[in-house]
A and B are shown apart, each in its own frame.
Chain A
Amino acid sequence: MTAYLRPRDLDEALAARAAHPDWMVLAGGTDLMVNANHGAPPAGILDLWRLAAVCFVRHADGAIVIGAGTTWREVEREPVIRSQLAPLAAAAREIGALQIQSRATLGGNVGTSSPVGDSLPVLLALDATLEVASPRGRRTVAYRDWCTGYRTTQLAADELIVAAHVPIPAPATRTAWRKVGTRRAQSISKVMGAAAILLDGDRVVEARIALGAIADRPVRISAAEAAVRGLRLTDAAAAAHAAVASAIRPIDDIRSTASYRREVAANLVARFFAR
């Protein structure tokens, strides 16, 4: 019989994680429950759903701190996120559909670390930092260093994800997010991307450009970021298009083809620079 624990606080959750490394850490279940009827049940469930210590949104020090247990519906409806982190709210609105958004959490997207996790390019483009905890203490990890491979991350076996710290972009920053799939809702992305572009008038001071579904993990496109630096927007669009098209190596799979993904990714990023 599967054991079950709903911890009262983070300390109890961390103690249980350390004591039962083979238990499933479960929150909204939108990934982990998909195969619930196939395969063996888990030895135990460490249920973090609605754990108060990881369900919050806080405005602090030029950043918005979003607890790992916050659902995408909460992210989408939070006024401070809608106004200060618009691309994250926009991505939240296109993750699955209402039923998924009511359950799927930021920590789940970051922990599962699927290459098609819709929020992940946004966290890269906004240069988020993750806060993780273990019985050994807390540490922060820059999100750009978080993903170590296909669905693998820096999270240690005794750690839990606590929150994402997302810096509020400077006022002269253009931010954008765009997803391309077969259908607006419930479709798994063929390509999605996000950008934060610091502008001086119509000149690009610097840009962070991130894409998903085109590699084994969400990635910053540093070649495109270098190519647009100092350019006017019109020139930057063309430069970004060329740089993305030559930098990425997407694959053919059931959802799309490499050549389609390359072309769409380049167009999508170029549009982020449209005047």
Chain B
Amino acid sequence: MKLTIEVNGAVRAVDASPWKRLLDLLRDDLRLTGTKEGCGEGECGACTVLLDGEPVNSCLVAAGQCDGRRVTTVEGLARGDLLHAVQRQLIACGGAQCGICTPGIAVCAAHLVDRGLIDPSGAGEAAARAQVRELLAGNICRCTGYQLIVEAVIAAAREVAAATEPTG
């Protein structure tokens, strides 16, 4: 089946079975290997990408379903050389260890921060931590214990909130 998919802002044409997993289409056909396979059954979130702006497990999306739609992978988070706030804060806070979960965490957390779903100021730090823990619960990390990931996401939310605040 001929598929036309907007991947990270560029329209890509690819010929593939509609039953192929989006995960395999990205890695094998489009050579976007930033997206990792963890469990392969929708439990761990390592393969998270955005489909029409919503976080999904790419191991559970059929390629045919992506025809004419928009996909964002971890490769699409940065703007040129400028990493997304979430990526910069994951580095600054040390919110990564073995790295397999990191692309999925970065994609999901970028979605949360860009949508304003984490409120770093409103109800205080503890409430923000609880928000991050709930909304990132679909991304399993077996190394870090999550603490530094949560810190990084809150720091990124704070950064993005400050940047979008009206000035003067």
Contact = CB atoms under 8 A, between A and B. Distances in A.
Interface of A: 1-4, 6, 26, 28-30, 33-37, 41-42, 45, 47, 49, 73, 96-100, 102-103, 183-186
B143 interface: no
B60 A30 contact: yes
A264 B11 CA distance: 52
A157 B23 CA distance: 31
B55 A96 contact: no
A98 B60 contact: no
A29 to B, nearest CB: 5
A42 B42 contact: no
B1 interface: yes
A140 to B, nearest CB: 29
Interface in B28-85: 40-43, 45, 48, 51, 54-57, 59-62, 64-65, 67
Given A29-B61, A33-B62, A34-B41, A1 B108 contact: no
Contacts, number: 95
Nearest to A48: B65
A184 B139 CA distance: 13
Nearest to A183: B137
B18 A45 contact: yes
Contact of B65 (A3, A26, A30): A26
A4 B21 contact: no
Contact of B19 (A41, A97, A103): A41
Contact of A185 (B42, B55, B137): B137
5 contacts: A4-B1, A29-B65, A34-B41, A34-B42, A41-B19
Given A33-B62, A185-B138, A186-B43, A98 B21 contact: no
Given A2-B18, A37-B40, 10 more contacts: A2-B17, A30-B60, A36-B19, A41-B19, A45-B62, A73-B54, A97-B138, A99-B138, A100-B42, A103-B61
Contacts of A2: 17-19, 64
B135 interface: yes
A97 B54 CA distance: 13
A100 B17 contact: no
